[in-house]
Amino acid sequence: MLDAETLSVTLGRKPILKGIDLEAKAGTLTCIVGPNGSGKTTLLRALTGEVASSGRLRLDGQDLRSLKPEALALRRAVLPQSVPLAFPFTVLEIVRLGLTGVPGADARSLPAQALHRVGLGGYEGRLFQELSGGEQQRVHLARVLLQVWQPVVHGIPRWLFLDEPVAALDIGHQLQVMRIARDFAEAGGGVIAVMHDLNLTAMVADQVWLMTAGRIAARGTPAEVFTDATLAAAYGCAIRVSTPPSDGTPFILPQAAA
């Protein structure tokens, strides 16, 4: 389990996160949603230990801040919104950066498996800079997947943190990436993803944290969080949540403001 109490982040003199209490369980996919500037990425970076924070922060009962970088790298992998590269690397060279504590035989075979998993089989020799934005995003996803290739090791779950993982992708690849995230959770790992697409979130999430102004305004299942009133208050516009009769998955349609 990942849990935090009174988690706060101040950048400069500006408070970004304001005393957040939360918990996420391994084996589930948690999506963080909310309007621009609500603190979603900052929360993700605080949970991964990338930004300084106050309050209690524990990973599977252990103080996350006490973990050394190499130990933390074995427990969780992070896909940021963008990863700028200044030098010409091949796809294989980038993916191999995710080989953390992988035995020799697996180190030779797993990069190709990771690329195949994200739909980029055969891209090993391509230059990263020559790829489309969506392809580059999936190369980095292959890298972080390789870092935590086994969702559970010796009974200890590993974690994927994804910051807008489908932002540059077409609908087919969006579904592919979220299937990867679901598979990781269903295999016993934990996944926390920052998302903007509410409908896609409703399809895949076990738990949703809706953020506004540095706080979690609502939490629960998509059906519990995605209501007309809750979303309208968070996003500042009229929103209609409908439920198709087939399986009860909610879908969200913006309505013209009155």
pLDDT digits (tens, 9 = 90+) for 12-42: 889 999 999 999 999 999 999 999 999 999 9
Average pLDDT over all residues of the chain: 91
Sequence-distant (6+) residues with CB within 8 A of 229 are: none
Residue 103 has pLDDT above 70, yes or no: no
Residue 181: Cβ within 10 Å count: 23
Tokens for 69, please give them.
Answer: 């970088």
**Does the pLDDT at position 257 exceed 50?**
no
Residue 101 pLDDT: 62
Averaged over 44-72, what is the pLDDT? 93
Q: Label residue 102 by pLDDT band (50, 70, 90).
A: low
| Helices within the chain (DSSP H only) | 40-47, 69-75, 91-95, 104-117, 133-147, 171-186, 198-204, 222-225, 228-235
Q: 89, 111 in Cβ contact below 8 A?
A: no
For 178, the domain range is 2-254
Q: Cβ neighbours of residue 166 under 8 Å, at least 6 residues apart?
A: 173, 174, 177, 178, 195, 197, 200
Give residue 172's pLDDT band: very low, low, confident or very high (50, 70, 90).
very high
Q: Name the band, by pLDDT with cuts 50, 70 and 90, for residue 104.
A: low
Percent with pLDDT over 70 in the chain: 95
Query: What CATH number is given to the structural domain containing 231?
Result: 3.40.50.300
Q: How many domains does the chain have?
A: 1
Model confidence, pTM: 0.92
Instruction: Calculate the dihedral angle through the C-alpha atoms of 146, 64, 189, 212, rounding to the nearest 10 degrees.
Output: -100
Q: What is the pLDDT of residue 251?
A: 74
